[in-house]
Amino acid sequence: MAITAADVNKLRQMTGAGMMDCKKALEEANGDFETAIDILRKKGQKVASKRADRAASEGIVLAGTNAEKTFAAVIMVNCETDFVGKNDEFTGLAKKLLEKVIENKPASLEEARQLKIDDRTFEDHLTELIGKTGEKMEFPSYHFIEAPVVTAYNHQGNRLATILGFNKKVDDNTYTIAHEVAMQVAAMNPVAIDKDDVDPKIIERELEIGREQARAEGKPENMVDKIAEGKLNRFYKESTLLNQEFVRDPKKTVGQYIAEHDKDIKVVKFYRLMLGE
């Protein structure tokens, strides 16, 4: 397929790689952006970890918990422009939706869309607002956690939010620990809780990229697998929550920080939503 200048520029914006490198990668990948990113990485390019299908959507991301802090929810409501995304009617509707979600605990996104706000479904309210603003709007994402301890973190500007759950409560300080870890999730965007939770496809992908990088650097073939394993271990440290350096104190991992409070506390789940991802 023909690769356009716009395609090349899009990949360049996503990865930070050079124009010619982006063009060659897209040509080799037949225009597929995810494959092109992998090609750049295999050739040793340091690329930004942004997805090829990133959305240009504006809107709002909100997270919250019930009073007992045993149920947490995070929602995303999208619109087309930042102007509408900060409109009081739009943000007010999203806040009412979050309240209803926490109150009713819907089991799915479809159930959440049908929640009643002032005797009308959220979808009906959204359709009315679309008519007023002329902008496309949608409610694409809803996640929840039920656990003995939950927390929610809303980043300033309401473009990013996280929720996280622990398997047990030790004392009131457990909530503080959970909130600190939820902030870690917001800042460092882990792909999984621990090594064993990483999708095997991701592991194999990282190993293959590590092998190709080693070969591109001219390393002996008998060293390629060992080098790839080393790169995979770095991936675990950077991308799995419990093995990441704790942002507040880089001398310890997140897992060590939690264990200092209680060695039996486990992270049961986390979710992170961000506009544009």
Are 136 and 126 in contact by the 8 Å Cβ rule? The answer is: no
% pLDDT > 70, the chain: 95
Over the stretch 120-140, which tens digit does the pLDDT of each residue have?
999 889 888 888 887 888 999
Q: Mean per-residue pLDDT for 91-96?
A: 96
Q: Mean per-residue pLDDT for 10-24?
A: 84
Which token pair is 252? 């310890």
In the predicted model, is pLDDT for residue 56 greater than 50? no
Q: Mean per-residue pLDDT for 255-259?
A: 98
Q: Mean per-residue pLDDT for 10-30?
A: 86
* Structure confidence at residue 30 (pLDDT): 93
Alpha-helical segments (H) within 109-199:
109-113, 122-133, 173-188
Return the beta strands (E) in the chain as ranges: 58-65, 71-79, 116-117, 120-121, 138-146, 149-154, 160-166, 245-246, 249-253, 267-274
| One-letter amino acid of 254 | V
Q: Mean per-residue pLDDT for 73-85?
A: 93
Q: Mean per-residue pLDDT for 14-22?
A: 82
In the predicted model, is pLDDT for residue 50 greater than 50? no
Burial class (CB in 10 A: 0-12, 13-18, 19+), 250: exposed
Q: Give dist(CA 27, CA 42) in Å, integer.
A: 15
Beta-sheet pairing, 160-166 with 267-274: antiparallel
The region of weakest confidence among 64-73, 129-138, 205-214 is: 129-138
Its pTM stands at 0.77
On average, the pLDDT of the chain sits at 91
* Structure confidence at residue 21 (pLDDT): 86
pLDDT band at 51 (very low <50, low <70, confident <90, very high): very low
In the predicted model, is pLDDT for residue 144 greater than 90? yes
pLDDT band at 14 (very low <50, low <70, confident <90, very high): confident
In the predicted model, is pLDDT for residue 53 greater than 70? no
pLDDT band at 45 (very low <50, low <70, confident <90, very high): low
Q: Give dist(CA 259, CA 48) in Å, integer.
A: 32
Which token pair is 199? 């999708």
> Which of helix, strand or coil describes residue 158?
coil
Domains for the chain: give ranges and CATH numbers: 1-54 (1.10.8.10), 58-174 (3.30.479.20)
The region of weakest confidence among 15-24, 28-37, 157-166, 216-225 is: 15-24
In the predicted model, is pLDDT for residue 1 greater than 80? no
